[in-house]
Amino acid sequence: MKAPVRVAVTGAAGQISYSLIFRIASGTMLGPDQPVILQLLEIPPAMGALQGVLMELNDCAFPLVAGVIATDDPNVAFKDADFALLVGSRPRGPGMERSDLLNANGAIFTVQGKALSDNANPNVRVLVVGNPANTNALICLKNAPKLNPRNVTAMMRLDHNRAMSQIAEKTGTHSTKVEKVVVWGNHSSTQYPDISYATADGKAVKGLVDDEWNKNDFIPTVQQRGAAIIKARGASSAASAASAAVDHMRNWALGSNGQWVSMGVYSKGNPYAVDEDLIFAFPITCENGEWKIVEGLEISDFSREMIKKTEAELQGERAAVSDHIS
């Protein structure tokens, strides 16, 4: 058995964490031979509910759980953390403008970026799930001078998995037979799910579907999937979001076996002429604990237009939180 690693999860009493923590504890994220010490962060009003989660975690008697800490202090939650999943964030309240939401979360991710920088393992791998995920990740990175900017990422994997599943259904195959899907940009309705390079059962998806389906069905369905789930379930995606977070971290830590995944990463030095100071989703492969942008892809005029749109939205978000990233 390996030595335990420390995994911090914020928003630990929330609905995503209610799936996520138990999957981390069971070994689905880091493997069946990797013990974990869970370091769970909540805000004071949710500490009672977090105690309930802790009781259930103990009741699972997971063989891989080497310890659990529950706290409302980010400095304690992030102490020596090797992995940090930042799920907790401020939801949009009644009458709240988008800029208010960005700033309320700006304050949270400024504090958490500093706490990570001061306390975590300097090589800590960070995944931001809490929305607006890309811009929250940018704020976190800018406030964490001791961290490697490459190690602060935002979750686009749910969008990626949604795109894979839509293509599998349309082409009559299984999602494991769908490859080279990309979701570019922001985790928002401007994201660009791109089938340009995708294959299903080894055949080009572009040859299996018509352009009409791509533009008027596939792209909007993936972009609007979160809203469709809320409408159907009366609550936002939780189990699928937790599953995507596990996929993101597992591939990053253990490799993607040559498969393309979509991750929101710091755009500095990117090969696709995207603004170099954003957290932006690209096609990625992971190997030996490192992510790498897939290079050399031809970008069509349509794709460039879509990428520009989501880039412009992220630039606008960055401008709205300038007080938190200077």
Q: Is 112 annotated as a binding residue?
A: yes
Binding letters toward ligand NAX, positions 140-179, x by CB under 6 A: ---------------x--x---------------------
Whose tokens are 């500093």? That residue is 114
Please report how close the Cβ of residue 116 comes to ligand NAX at its closest, in angstroms. 12
Q: Does 241 bind ligand NAX (CB under 6 A)?
A: yes
Strand 125-128 to strand 83-86: parallel, antiparallel, or no bridges (unpaired)? parallel
Please report how close the Cβ of residue 13 comes to ligand NAX at its closest, in angstroms. 4
Closest residue by Cα to residue 304 from 208, 185, 188: 185
Q: Does 84 bind ligand NAX (CB under 6 A)?
A: no
Rule CB under 6 A: which of 187-216 touch ligand NAX?
187
Q: Is 187 among the residues known to form the active site?
A: yes
Please report how close the Cβ of residue 89 comes to ligand NAX at its closest, in angstroms. 4
* Residue 182, beta-bridge partner list: 194
Q: Does 130 bind ligand NAX (CB under 6 A)?
A: yes
State which of residues 76, 238, 254, 294 lies at the interface with ligand NAX (CB under 6 A): 238
What one-letter code names the amino acid at 48? Answer: G
Please report how close the Cβ of residue 187 comes to ligand NAX at its closest, in angstroms. 5
Q: For the chain, state the CA radius of gyration.
A: 19
Q: Is 46 annotated as a binding residue?
A: no
Q: Report the C-alpha gap between 217 and 199 in whole angstroms.
A: 18
Q: Does 108 bind ligand NAX (CB under 6 A)?
A: yes
Q: Report the C-alpha gap between 42 and 80 in whole angstroms.
A: 18
Closest residue by Cα to residue 239 from 88, 54, 18: 18
User: Integer distance in angstroms from the first to the last C-alpha of the chain?
Assistant: 44
Q: Does 26 bind ligand NAX (CB under 6 A)?
A: no
Task: Identify whether 132 is preceded by a cis peptide bond (ω within 30 of 0).
Answer: yes
Among 160, 174, 187, 248, the one annotated catalytic: 187
Rounded to 10 deg, the angle between the 301-320 and 98-119 helix axes is 80
Residue pair 84/78 in contact (Cβ under 8 Å)? The answer is: yes
Per DSSP, the residues of 232-284 read HHSS---HHHHHHHHHHHHHHHH--TT--EEEEEE-TT-TT---SSSEEEEEE
Query: Counting Cβ atoms within 10 Å, is residue 290 exposed (0-12), middle (13-18) or buried (19+)?
Result: exposed
Q: Does 89 bind ligand NAX (CB under 6 A)?
A: yes
Rule CB under 6 A: which of 269-298 touch ligand NAX?
none
Q: Is 39 annotated as a binding residue?
A: no
Q: Is 92 annotated as a binding residue?
A: yes
Q: Does 42 bind ligand NAX (CB under 6 A)?
A: yes
Q: Does 299 bind ligand NAX (CB under 6 A)?
A: no
Q: Is 124 annotated as a binding residue?
A: no
Q: Does 11 bind ligand NAX (CB under 6 A)?
A: yes
Q: Which residues are annotated as a binding site for NAD(+)?
A: 11-17, 105, 112, 129-131
Query: Which positions are annotated as active-site residues?
Result: 187
The contact set with ligand NAX (CB under 6 A) reads 10-11, 13-17, 41-43, 46, 87-91, 108, 129-131, 133, 155, 158, 187, 226, 236-238, 241
Q: Which residues are annotated as a binding site for substrate?
A: 92, 98, 131, 162
